[in-house]
Each structure stands twice: as C-alpha cells, then as structure tokens.
Amino acid sequence: MDISVIIPLFNEEESLPELHAWIRRVMQEHGFSYEVIFVDDGSTDTSWSVIDNLQHQYPEVKGIKFRRNYGKSPALFCGFERAQGDVVITMDADLQDSPDEIPELRRMIVEDGYDLVSGFKMNRRKGDPLSKTIPTKLFNATARMVSGIHNLHDFNCGLKAYRREVVKNIEVYGEMHRYIPYLAKNAGFAKIGEKPVHHQARKFGKSKFMGWNRFVNGYLDLLSLWFLNSFGMKPMHVFGFIGSLMFFIGFVAAAVVGANKLYCLATGMPARLVTESPYFFLALTMMILGTQLFVAGFLGELISRNSAERNKYQIEKEI
C-alpha cells in the first residue's frame, strides 16, 4: 500500500464527508493505493455514525472509536499501530490541512529520502491575535533549541508525512504529538525536512485546542521528553551525581563544624556545643537529602520507565 492517512478527530461530524471526498479525489488523480484511518477520540456528536456510513460505501475507510476522550497522542498511537502504507500521512479533521499536499509530501519521503516531513503553515498566523502568536513563537523557538532540530518552524503542525519505519519505532503518549520529530530523531531517524503548506480557515465548528494551558503543557511535555531522553535509561547519572554532591558538601560542612569545636577545645577558647550551631543542622540536612537522592537514582536504575499500561486504551468499536 502506498499511503496511510491517519486522521484523529473529536466532534467533527460536518467536516468528515468533505474531507474524505477530497482525499479520495487526490488519491485517484495520482493512482495511489491507500487507506484512511479515522480515529474518533470519544466524540459526543454523530462523528462515528458518519465514519461508519463512509466505511460501508468506501472500502479504504477504517475507523477506531475510543470509549472516552484520551487526546491526540493516543489517537495517533493507535493509528500508527494499524497503518500499512509505505508512507504515513497525519492530518487534522477540520479541513484546515489540505489533502492536495499529500503527493508532494509522499515524493519527499520516497524520492528525496526523508524519514519525516513536517508541514509549515506560513500563512497561519496572519489573522491570529498576539496572545496566540507570541506563545507559539516562543514555544517553537524553545522546541528547536532543546531538540536540536533547527530547520523546523512549526512543531505543532498536524500535517506530517512519515516513512512507515518511523511510526513503527516511536511511542507517542500523553501529549507528545507535538514532539514527534524529536521522538523520531531520538529513535535514529535523523533526516527530517519541512514543507511550506497551505493553511485554510476552519469551515465548521471551532478549535478544540485553545487556551494558554496547551502552551504550558507543551513546555512541561518538552522538559519531560528532554529529561527522559537524557536520563530515562540512566537515572543514576543525574540523581546519583546530585545526591553525591549534596552529601559531600554536607559532610565537608559537618567536618568544618567539628574541626572548629576541636580547635576551640585545644586552645582553651570558649565554644558552643556542636548541636547549637545552625551550620551543623544544615550540613546534616544536606547529607540526608543527598542520601535520599542517591537512593532514588539507584531505585530508578532497577525500575523500568516503560509502564505496561501506558498505551492501553479502551476501544469501543473498530471497523
């Protein structure tokens, strides 16, 4: 199969027939063999009924329906598991991503040899308020700095193309869909490109991803991903180092307090009890905290960070 198109959605009943017709037209014009996988992330409208009707009419349509709303990353994860195409395309269901971009995205994967190509909606921010554009620019700048992928301008663009091996070798969970290029790079798929794509105005409904909290969550996810990538398989390197350093500082401070007491006794100078010095308790606290951090690092080495239940979701129906 040439292409798998994965479309996560939540309450997009009006857009789905038009989006599928558009994808179908593009695929037929270029003679691609393909499948369209709709992942219904617990919609409360008639989105699943629309998907079910489309599947009865068109054999290329497949569907997954979650029992409840899990989020975009779990939807993509389940879609990636089932994708059979040599090239995997992801796009949003709100008609803002153009299926006309699919042939060129596929060409960049197949002919140019990219592992992943991310869309860049250059005209997206023209009508957006500063309250949205400024956080977005800061977010993308931070993501470029932390990930080291300096040629991407829009990490959060839903329109992306992947070589099949990429989606089969990365694990998307939580809200990590924003950092799939970073996940791919960490998995060894380093040839990552970008393509300017056309961004259309939303035709139906309203955005499901509004508000400052998504930017805050984005930064927290980025920090988590950086930490797990840097120390997830070697927690002793960070906890053990910090713990040992704190213990050493505390030990030296306690030794200084003790040496000062002995010096005063030897010279006949008046001296307070060691336990009367605040520095003694600060040193003791540093040693205790250092020991706890060291033990935490040791335990982290013994416990796998990959939970067996992390990517298990309740699927109500699948067609």
pLDDT of residue 139: 79
Residue with tokens 């920090």: 223
Mean pLDDT for the stretch of residues 199-222: 64
pLDDT in tens, 242-300: 888 899 999 998 888 888 878 787 787 776 676 677 888 888 899 999 899 888 877 76
For the chain, give the mean pLDDT: 85
- Interior angle at CA 106, CA 71 and CA 174, nearest 5: 15
pLDDT of residue 123: 67
Instruction: Give Cα separations from 165 to 63, 83, 84, 91, 114 (angstroms).
Output: 22, 11, 10, 19, 12
Domain 3-231 CATH assignment equals 3.90.550.10: yes
Candidates 2, 202, 209; CA nearest to 105 is 2
- pTM, 2 dp: 0.73
pLDDT of residue 263: 78
Give 80: exposed, middle or buried? Use CB within 10 Å, 0-12, 13-18, 19+: buried
pLDDT of residue 109: 97
AA letter at 137: K
Q: Report the distance separating Cα 270 and Cα 175, nearest Å.
A: 62
pLDDT of residue 34: 98
Q: What ranges do the domains of the chain cover?
A: 3-231, 236-302
